[in-house]
Amino acid sequence: MARRSEDRCSFCGRSRNEVNLLISGENAFICDECAAQANKIVEEAFRSLETRQADNLNLDDLPKPKDIKKFLDGYVIGQDDAKRNLSVAVYNHYKRILQPRSKDDVEIEKSNIIMVGRTGTGKTLLAKTIARMLNVPFAIVDATVLTEAGYVGEDIESILTRLLQACDYNVKQAERGIVFIDEIDKIARKGDNPSITRDVSGEGVQQGLLKLLEGSKVGVPPQGGRKHPEQKLIEVDTTNILFICGGAFDGIEQKIAARLNTRSVGFATDDKQVQVDRNNLLQYITPADLKKFGLIPEIIGRLPILTYLQPLDAEALKRILTEPKNAITKQYVKLFKMDGIDLTIDPEVYQLIVDKAIEFKLGARGLRAITESIMMDAMFNMPSEAEKKLHITLEYAQKELAKANLERMRVA
């Protein structure tokens, strides 16, 4: 039998004394360096397989719009109009990528989409949820950090950096991905008239976005941030990248109301008055309202699909607490279960949480903050105690909320 000092790696042939670690098998050995190299080879093989599978995607494998909406229904309550528009846009994006070359000169163009809705109505959640079932790279970016060249902030091209990171810098895959640009309303110009001075994060940023939305070859900094002359850039063609934009557009209801109240001037006016639901003015939104808010006409034209999200009423908020697959209450039940604690909640508590969210105008996003305030003491104390059951009653919830400083969350 050979001595241990003579054991050698079956791949590179080095002895135990020449390597840091020698792993033994039944009739073979492998050193740490060969194991690390083998791991890289396996990862590269899996990436190549995923790329081939994506490239071999065909129309029969595509999730149909109804299938996409059904998936969204499992995680997002209500917002049927937005889900239908989003499902169709994503499905058509797949078909556009797969369109065969034809002799009829008909080329399907992409239909970028913009979603308008109050904070907490589910814009970002829709984007994150649809990313769960897509076979193309997906990235969510925030428009608030974007500024013009020469100012502190990030270049427009950094949007594509997130997409490249989502697919391990595989440019071919990134060029058929989907980007969700959140807080698009934050780059609206400050007035309806074109700026004659610098608008650091407004009109100039919108002008920079035009080439991305329309489709062009862009030099992207690999790590994001600012470009500099000596930096090596990655060239990305945005022609087949679908852009979905979302924003709260706080105050746009006033512009919609002003437009709807406009009457013709003269002796004779139309006596027929259209009934307007003033509690949900966003349903009447038009591209003209976006222009009034501060988006330039060129960028509105490159976002042809305009959809809105309904404000959430008490019933929808209560359903959000309990019904989705990742409902807030289910998450807390799971958190306590990991400590061996059984959590139960009285139905009256749900109504209390909803009432507080409506009172403070927090939308669905506020449900978690209020629930967290109720659960905080129990989450702090119970993991260290022997008690393994927690029952949240209305009295308990009211007592915990009274101790919490909820006024800090009130939206003016």
What's the average model confidence in pLDDT over 279-289? 87
Cβ atoms 260, 297 nearer than 8 A? no
pLDDT at res. 106: 74
- Clarify whether residues 359 and 304 are in a common domain: no
Inside any domain, residue 350: yes
- Clarify whether residues 210 and 334 are in a common domain: no
Residue 396, domain extent? 314-409
* Distance between CA atoms of residues 347 and 325, nearest Å: 18
| Beta bridge partner(s), residue 116 | 247, 308
Inside any domain, residue 324: yes
pLDDT at res. 56: 55
Inside any domain, residue 271: no
- How many domains are there within the chain? 3
Which residue would you say has higher pLDDT here, 20 or 274? 20
pLDDT at res. 267: 44
- Clarify whether residues 145 and 246 are in a common domain: yes
Which residue would you say has higher pLDDT here, 156 or 59? 156
pLDDT at res. 404: 80
Most confident option among 13-27, 259-273, 342-356: 342-356
pLDDT at res. 294: 87
pLDDT at 44 over 90: no
- Clarify whether residues 201 and 88 are in a common domain: yes
pLDDT in tens, 174-193: 888 889 998 898 888 765 55
- Clarify whether residues 323 and 196 are in a common domain: no
Inside any domain, residue 158: yes
Our CA dihedral for 53, 58, 64, 65, rounded to 10 degrees, sits at 90
* Distance between CA atoms of residues 289 and 189, nearest Å: 14
Inside any domain, residue 137: yes
Least confident stretch, 59-68, 139-148, 273-282: 273-282
Which residue would you say has higher pLDDT here, 71 or 111? 71
Query: The domain spanning residue 344 has which CATH number?
Result: 1.10.8.60
- Clarify whether residues 29 and 113 are in a common domain: no
- Clarify whether residues 234 and 337 are in a common domain: no
Residue percentage of the chain with pLDDT more than 70: 82
- Clarify whether residues 244 and 387 are in a common domain: no
* Distance between CA atoms of residues 161 and 225, nearest Å: 9
**pLDDT band at 47; cut points 50, 70, 90:** low
Query: The domain spanning residue 124 has which CATH number?
Result: 3.40.50.300
Which residue would you say has higher pLDDT here, 321 or 56? 321
pLDDT at res. 52: 52
Least confident stretch, 6-20, 82-96, 226-240, 385-399: 226-240
pLDDT at 94 over 90: no
Quickly count: other Cβ atoms within 10 Å of residue 356's Cβ. 21
pLDDT at res. 202: 63
- Clarify whether residues 113 and 38 are in a common domain: no
- Main-chain dihedrals φ then ψ at residue 343, nearest 5 degrees: -105, 130
Inside any domain, residue 266: no
- Clarify whether residues 149 and 249 are in a common domain: yes
* Distance between CA atoms of residues 124 and 126, nearest Å: 5
* Distance between CA atoms of residues 179 and 160, nearest Å: 8
Helices 365-381, 328-337: crossing angle, 10 deg rounding: 20
DSSP 177: -
- Clarify whether residues 136 and 224 are in a common domain: yes
Q: Which helix (H) or strand (E) holds 24?
A: strand 22-24
Residue percentage of the chain with pLDDT more than 90: 24
Cβ atoms 374, 400 nearer than 8 A? yes
Please, what is the average pLDDT of the chain?
82
pLDDT at res. 264: 38
What's the average model confidence in pLDDT over 262-289? 66
pLDDT at res. 333: 94
**pLDDT band at 2; cut points 50, 70, 90:** very low
pLDDT at 342 over 80: yes
**pLDDT band at 411; cut points 50, 70, 90:** low
**pLDDT band at 276; cut points 50, 70, 90:** confident
- Main-chain dihedrals φ then ψ at residue 244, nearest 5 degrees: -115, 125
- Clarify whether residues 35 and 125 are in a common domain: no
pLDDT in tens, 244-268: 999 989 888 888 888 887 543 444 4
pLDDT at res. 266: 44
Cβ-Cβ contacts under 8 Å for 145 (sequence gap 6 or more) = 153, 154, 158
* Distance between CA atoms of residues 116 and 180, nearest Å: 13
